[in-house]
Amino acid sequence: MIKVLYSVDEVSDMIKHGARLLLAGDETVLSQLPTGNWVAGTSPYFMGDNGGETSKEKIMVTQLPEYVTETSIKTYDRQSIASIYSDIPANGFGFLIIPAFTEIHMSFAINAPDFPGFTTKPLLGWVSGVLLDDLGKTTPKVINGKTGEKIEDRALMMAVTLPADKLADIRMLNIFKQGTGDSIVFTVDGFEVTQVIVDGKSMNFADYLVEKSIDTRLPLVADYSGAGINISIKSIDKEKKSVSFYAPVFKDVQYRFAQPVDQYFQEFMTQVLIDDYAEFSSSNTANQKTMLFSCNCILNYLYSNLEGMRTGDMVGPITFGEIAYQLLNQTLVYLTIHSI
């Protein structure tokens, strides 16, 4: 296992030596880093070398390979984010970090599928967060390493150019499968709803969840041609009779609640092992593809009790949302680089 969690001093040395880095850590430690060619998001939760870990002292490091030909860093607000796909190089990928619970988070989540060029170039990343005990005391941030600027209201992307013989591919790992229960369709896009159409009948969604005693640790799942896209329930407001989500539901998409998962960690690891990632994690360099980055959802971390548990080489920040072309949640997203 390659070391991925480092001290401030160790990361500072890498930066001073010109390394190009994708970082995650608590705001306090990230604030101590020198300027350089790096981007970061705040999160004290990691899948590290020794398994799931919460630390305000360590920094998760992904170092871009030497063969990367160019990088550039740009910030986005609600208006400019629409052009994000045009800023990704023709051969390369965009690495996007968005601060959680912000307007840019909501805007990207709802509008990304309508952005010009949606999915035509690899875009991945994550939503930054804070220690759950610190919610309300501090805010999630992204940091532009070029300037040292800490940003809480805009998104940040490092555009990475690859040489012609390399190709970036984004994959997703989801332990949840669409169940066989009621068909659930919403009449609006958004992070919060009141009404829902269940098997053709309009009703209040909060009432539905209570009456059916739905296990809200299970996400709603939409089937996108074989890809299960999760929508996790954040809370039920019994006063307002509304339900809020960690990612937006989309109007007219058919959702069903996920099949129950008996052993979250066991199922998670099964998925890790059966995924084609296993094909190259145990192989040699002749395999011609390597995993560069992965991130995993805080809900998987909590529900699968990943603290202290090892997940093979699937290491990376624990996030408040994952990005693979659009916002996802309760999934693991990873980036592979292929030699072609």
Q: Which residues bind another protein (CB under 8 A)?
A: 113, 118-122, 167, 169-172, 222-227, 229, 250, 252-253, 324-326, 338, 340
Residue 316: which of 280, 291, 290, 279 has the closest Cα? 291
Q: Which residue has the tokens 């208006």?
A: 79
Contact, 261 vs 175, CB < 8 A?
Answer: yes
Nearer to another protein by Cβ, of 291 and 302: the residue is: 291
Query: 208 to each of 177, 213, 237, 246, how far by Cα in Å?
Result: 21, 8, 13, 19
Nearer to another protein by Cβ, of 25 and 228: the residue is: 228
Closest approach of another protein to the CB of residue 327, in Å: 11
Closest approach of another protein to the CB of residue 122, in Å: 8
Nearer to another protein by Cβ, of 21 and 229: the residue is: 229
Nearer to another protein by Cβ, of 79 and 225: the residue is: 225
Closest approach of another protein to the CB of residue 332, in Å: 13
Closest approach of another protein to the CB of residue 323, in Å: 12
Nearer to another protein by Cβ, of 49 and 275: the residue is: 275
Nearer to another protein by Cβ, of 66 and 224: the residue is: 224
What is the DSSP annotation of 214-275? --TTSPEEEEETTEEEEE-EEEEETTTTEEEEEEEE-TT-EEEEBPP-S-HHHHHHHHHHHS
Residue 128: which of 146, 150, 111, 160 has the closest Cα? 150
Backbone angles phi and psi of 319, in degrees to 5: -120, 165
Closest approach of another protein to the CB of residue 240, in Å: 28
Q: How far apart are CA 145 and CA 181, in angstroms?
A: 47
Nearer to another protein by Cβ, of 139 and 326: the residue is: 326
Closest approach of another protein to the CB of residue 224, in Å: 3
Residue 19: which of 59, 74, 76 has the closest Cα? 59
Q: How far apart are CA 274 and CA 276, in angstroms?
A: 6
Closest approach of another protein to the CB of residue 179, in Å: 18
Q: Mind spelling out the 3-state secondary structure of 149-172? A: EEECCCEEEEEEECCCCEEEEEEE
